[in-house]
Amino acid sequence: MSASRVSLEQWRALQAVVDNGGYAQAAEVLHRSQSSVSYTVAKLQEQLGIAVLRIEGRKSILTDEGKALLRRARLLLKQAEEVEQFADGLEQGWEAEVNLVVDAAFPTDVLMRALGRYAPLSQGSRVLLNEVVLSGAEDALEQGNADIAICANTPAGFLGEPLLDIHFIAVTHADHPMQQLGRPVTTSDLERDLQVVIRDSGARQQRDVGWLGAEHRWSVSSIETARQAVLSGLGYCWLPEHSIKAELEKGVLKPLPLREGGHYPGNLYMVYGSRKDPGPGASLLAKLLREELEACKACK
């Protein structure tokens, strides 16, 4: 692999000359002498073997080749700046990556808004997002694969902060036969019909969502798949109320008229994976998640 003929400093000098209207102005911006800037750009052209600037009157104008080269050089300079900023962040203790493990019952819109706010403030720290169901978050914590976990239970040895109350409702499509009975739905009715079960993604102590008395069950791996199955009229399922709010309001989905057990509460907790203080990236992301969650509650 051959070494680069042109340095970042040379590209930076060319960019400054073009953006600031000349060598004198570029020299002032770069805190260098005009002769030094002029020499740097001349050397760049010599090393490339291409004229990137031409003189028109008293102005230096980019040639067509210069325009094409500078477009690419701008991207190169921006990437170099981002690398340097990332290195500065690492020096200040920012994590290279933040592993975020989130129970699928957590509202997706809240999660996306928090991540959207995190990106420009992250100092280049990446987020590795893993969406899980039930004990999947506990597994990630215990295996050291989570910097932040939003989970249904706090495993032993960790401290959890209550984050959100989740309300699960047994629902079917509005046209489902159990909605047409004209009486409360019984356990016998449930046993004869198809239940959609959201499968636990954990490997150690698996537990599925909802009542499991139906002989005829379909297990799915996500809340969204369960929602789509119920919307298609395939059966009944206990789903988080916030995930089906629009369908309930439109009357597309309806709560099952059960005598008992049609609703049950759940809780989500925020847990840091490290027993020590979390890094600045994890701390910022946790703060943004809390703020977006509070803003969402305020809108209700």
Where do the domains of the chain lie, and which CATH numbers do they carry? 8-91 (1.10.10.10), 97-163+268-299 (3.40.190.10), 167-264 (3.40.190.290)
Percent of the chain residues past pLDDT 70, beyond the cut = 91
| Mean pLDDT of the chain, nearest integer | 87
pLDDT digits (tens, 9 = 90+) for 236-258: 999 999 999 999 999 999 999 99
Percent of the chain residues past pLDDT 90, beyond the cut = 46
For position 1, what pLDDT does the model report?
Answer: 46
- Give me the mean pLDDT over the 183-210 stretch: 79
pLDDT digits (tens, 9 = 90+) for 12-63: 998 998 888 888 888 999 999 999 998 998 999 889 888 998 877 777 789 9
pTM, whole model, 2 decimals? Answer: 0.70
**204 confidence band (pLDDT: 50, 70, 90):** low
For position 114, what pLDDT does the model report?
Answer: 96
Residue 208 has pLDDT above 60, yes or no: no
Give the residue among 21, 56, 13 at the shortest CA–CA distance from 37.
13
Residue 97: C-alpha distances to residues 91, 105, 122, 125, 129 (Å):
14, 24, 10, 5, 10
Give the chain's radius of gyration (CA, Å): 29
More confident residue, 192 or 94: 192
pLDDT digits (tens, 9 = 90+) for 125-180: 889 999 998 888 999 999 999 999 999 888 888 988 999 999 999 999 999 999 99
Residue 117 has pLDDT above 80, yes or no: yes
For position 59, what pLDDT does the model report?
Answer: 77
Give the residue among 127, 117, 131, 137 at the shortest CA–CA distance from 269.
137
Residue 299 has pLDDT above 70, yes or no: no
